[in-house]
Amino acid sequence: MKNALSAEVMAVHRSCLIVDLHCDLLLSSYFLGWDWNRRHAPNPLPGAPLMGHCDLPRLEEGNVGCMALGIVTNPLRGASGPDAIRHDLMQMQREADRSEGKLCIAGSVDAVRQARGQGKIACFAGLEGAHGLNGKLDDLPEFYKLGLRYVTLCHFSRNVFCSPMVGWGADNSAALTTPGHALVEALNSLGILVDLAHVGEQAFLDAAKRSTKPVICSHSAAKAVWNSPRGIGDAQLRAVAATDGVVGVIFVTPFIGPGGADQVAAHLDHFKKTIGIRHCAIGSDWEGFALYPSELSSADQLPLLTQALLRRGWQPEEIQAVYGENFLRVIGGA
């Protein structure tokens, strides 16, 4: 960071156990052969497009204590989806094994806290798009054992479970299908969180109503602040809160609007005013093939968000809750 932050900002930031609900480092491994152990220079291009936002040294510098690693599979190769999921889950384990003790897989509250107590970054996986299941639920118990802790019901394409808000087959009026209801029930029974990021509005509301456990929306934004097609409305925010779940604010500029760290804080402010601190979280979407604000284009810049929240009058305990404690409550009740 070019400008030194105050001791107060850094003290608050360091007091937090920070959980990022969506990071696409596995994509960086796949496309770039990204070395997670090396501190890379930040992406120098305007908007820091595509990749280059994270590695273990920068995550440590930003005090990120736990991250959900997104698994993305090709929707045009349905039959190979489960094998692709296995590959990425094993890749997560390989990255942990070669991290020299800096990274570990942790799928429970106790495991995350233990990892942080040992100075490690914890991680688990989130399947970004249930199309990867190839319409079947049989593999979910195996995937859970390998570290899968949430499933996003769809990504940028329609599948047998639901339609997305944006992408191929997008339809915000389409209901959750009968297989979609079965998927929600299976995830509830296995202790895998239902994630509603990317899901069309009606299916989103249906899934939240169907779930008997807290649901999450891992990386999204408030339409009331910036009217993006990837944002969600207040009814959707309230639907997540009604399950005692959390909504993670995304850092992607086209979805949050211009304005840097303070714009991310503006979305969190709206979440707070609409559904309360208890239901707010963060989901950066770093490494996610998108454009990012200059102030949050590298994991080591995360204290700038803490500064923006403090300037808006947030209390340290509120920031601690949003950065990690809220989600840890949710995964503890999955």
Question: pLDDT (tens digit, 9 = 90+) per residue, 226-273?
Answer: 999 999 999 999 999 999 999 999 999 999 999 999 999 999 999 999
With a cut of 90, say whether residue 2 has pLDDT above it: no
Asked if residue 198 is part of any domain, the answer here is yes
CA separation (Å) from 168 to 75, 143, 153, 157, 165?
10, 26, 14, 5, 9
In whole angstroms, what is the distance from residue 324 CA to residue 174 CA? 33
Specify the pairing of strand 64-71 against strand 18-23. parallel
Asked if residue 293 is part of any domain, the answer here is yes
Asked if residue 72 is part of any domain, the answer here is yes
| Nearest Cα to Cα of residue 126 among 104, 144, 141 | 144
With a cut of 50, say whether residue 70 has pLDDT above it: yes
How many other C-beta atoms can be found within 10 angstroms of the C-beta atom of residue 295? 20
pLDDT at residue 81, rounded to an integer = 96
CATH of the domain at 110: 3.20.20.140
**Average pLDDT over the chain, rounded to an integer:** 97
With a cut of 70, say whether residue 90 has pLDDT above it: yes
Total domains present in the chain: 1
Q: Where are the alpha helices (DSSP H) in the chain?
A: 7-14, 25-32, 56-61, 81-97, 109-117, 140-145, 178-190, 201-210, 234-242, 253-256, 260-275, 303-311, 316-320, 326-332
pLDDT at residue 78, rounded to an integer = 84
pLDDT tens string 260-315? 999 999 999 999 999 999 999 999 999 999 999 999 999 999 999 999 999 999 99
**In the predicted model, what is the mean pLDDT of residues 137-165?**
98
Q: Which domain range does residue 280 map to?
A: 7-332
Asked if residue 1 is part of any domain, the answer here is no
Asked if residue 2 is part of any domain, the answer here is no
Asked if residue 21 is part of any domain, the answer here is yes
In whole angstroms, what is the distance from residue 281 CA to residue 330 CA? 11
Asked if residue 168 is part of any domain, the answer here is yes
**In the predicted model, what is the mean pLDDT of residues 87-108?**
97
pTM here? 0.97
197 Cβ contact list (under 8 Å, min separation 6):
22, 128, 152, 216, 217, 218, 219, 220, 248, 283
In whole angstroms, what is the distance from residue 241 CA to residue 275 CA? 6
β-strand partners of 194: 151
**In the predicted model, what is the mean pLDDT of residues 37-48?**
95
Are 297 and 258 in contact, with CB atoms under 8 Å apart?
A: no
